[in-house]
């Protein structure tokens, strides 16, 4: 059985119901919008966030079942996540995601912003119409953190002064906040009140996810040349932070001079890549992920021990070991 199927096994039926509800929830009578929505649905991602909602709902459910509030919670986070991806692509001027052209690449920024806003409005309506104010509060806090994280990243990337502590704070806001939100809203939908440890677990999971994503920026082709390293957006990653910290003054100045360039050559990317290898930045990032994983596993030991809990453990391994 594939690892994806092992993760989904306790919620395979519920996931199908969620997908049907989600597809129905974002239809529109506006032809242009409906065309774009169909395009978005065709490039479906890994669905990690709704999977987390369903797994945590089942984990903390006394009967091991999910209810309609759980499905609304899963839809809510998927709507917010979809909006954040669309807006993120505009901010980063990205033209490709999941090997598909982005909304802003196909329909330009103006339309992309409005489509993102459409998803946000659908999320608000879903919560208010069903009086799910507890879920709305959690999601609103996550959106606030995501927005602050994006602005914090822009601020810090201009100066190239980012410590490991600041980096972890940044990705905790930008990425981990929504992971924590998924775990919390799933648990809330099953009546769970004690959310502190659930939030802490979700935060660990989200940080691991982002560190792994950062490592993908350093993918290489068959002859060892970095193909995905995006210097244009001046993205500061954990391997780079660690390597700069461990390097001598001469190397620090050399790397920062490359990062400040407006136009980059393949040779610049190769220099950055080899600099990180020299200072064992990749090894450090892997060590950090495994440390965070161990912290997360300790928290899981205090949660109800059932099939959903086991699936979350498999999900932890999957996030670290995934190839894309």
Spatial separation of the C-alpha atoms in residues 104 and 85, rounded to whole Å: 11
Name the CATH topology of 3-321: Farnesyl Diphosphate Synthase (1.10.600)
Mean pLDDT of the 63-92 span? 92
Between CA 237 and CA 114 the distance in angstroms is 30
* Structure confidence at residue 223 (pLDDT): 34
Q: Can you tell me the mean pLDDT for 195-212?
A: 96
Supply 173's token pair: 């806001």
From its phi and psi, is residue 96 left (phi > 0), alpha (psi between -120 and 50) or beta?
beta
- pLDDT digit string, tens, across residues 205-229: 999 999 998 888 776 543 343 445 5
CB atoms within 10 A of CB 247: 18
Q: What is the pTM of this model?
A: 0.91
Higher-confidence position of 221 and 246: 246
**The pLDDT value given to residue 1:** 45
Highest average pLDDT, of 112-126, 219-233, 264-278, comes from: 112-126
Task: Indicate whether 133 pLDDT > 50.
Answer: yes
Res. 144 pLDDT band, cuts 50 70 90: very high
Give me the chain's average pLDDT, please: 89
Residue 73 in contact with residue 30, Cβ under 8 Å? no
């Amino acid at each position: 059985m594939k690892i994806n199927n092992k993760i989904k096994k306790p919620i395979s039926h519920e996931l199908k119901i969620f997908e049907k509800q989600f597809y129905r929830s974002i239809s529109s009578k506006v032809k242009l919008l409906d065309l774009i929505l169909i395009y978005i649905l065709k490039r479906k991602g890994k669905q990690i966030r709704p999977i987390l909602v369903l797994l945590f709902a089942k984990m903390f459910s006394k009967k091991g079942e999910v209810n309609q509030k759980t499905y609304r919670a899963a839809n809510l986070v998927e709507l917010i996540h979809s909006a954040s991806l669309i807006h993120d692509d505009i901010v980063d001027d990205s033209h490709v995601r999941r090997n598909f052209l982005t909304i802003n690449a196909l329909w330009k920024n103006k339309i992309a912003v409005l489509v993102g806003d459409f998803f946000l409005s659908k999320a608000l309506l879903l919560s208010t119409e069903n009086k799910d104010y507890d879920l709305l509060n959690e999601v609103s806090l996550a959106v606030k953190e995501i927005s602050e994280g994006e602005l914090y990243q822009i601020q810090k990337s201009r100066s190239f002064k980012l410590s490991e502590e600041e980096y972890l704070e940044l990705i905790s806001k930008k990425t981990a906040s929504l992971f924590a939100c998924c775990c919390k809203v799933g648990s809330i939908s099953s009546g769970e009140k004690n959310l502190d440890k659930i939030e802490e677990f979700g935060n660990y999971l989200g940080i691991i996810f982002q560190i792994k994503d950062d490592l993908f920026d350093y993918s290489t082709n068959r002859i060892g040349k970095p193909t995905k390293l995006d210097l244009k957006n001046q993205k500061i990653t954990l391997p780079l932070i660690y390597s700069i910290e461990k390097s001598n003054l001469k190397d620090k100045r050399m790397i920062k001079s490359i990062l400040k360039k407006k136009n980059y050559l393949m040779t610049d990317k190769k220099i950055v890549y080899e600099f990180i290898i020299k200072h064992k930045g990749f090894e450090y990032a892997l060590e950090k992920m495994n440390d965070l994983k161990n912290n997360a596993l300790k928290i899981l030991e205090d949660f109800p021990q059932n099939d959903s809990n086991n699936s979350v453990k498999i999900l932890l391994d999957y996030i670290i070991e995934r190839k894309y």
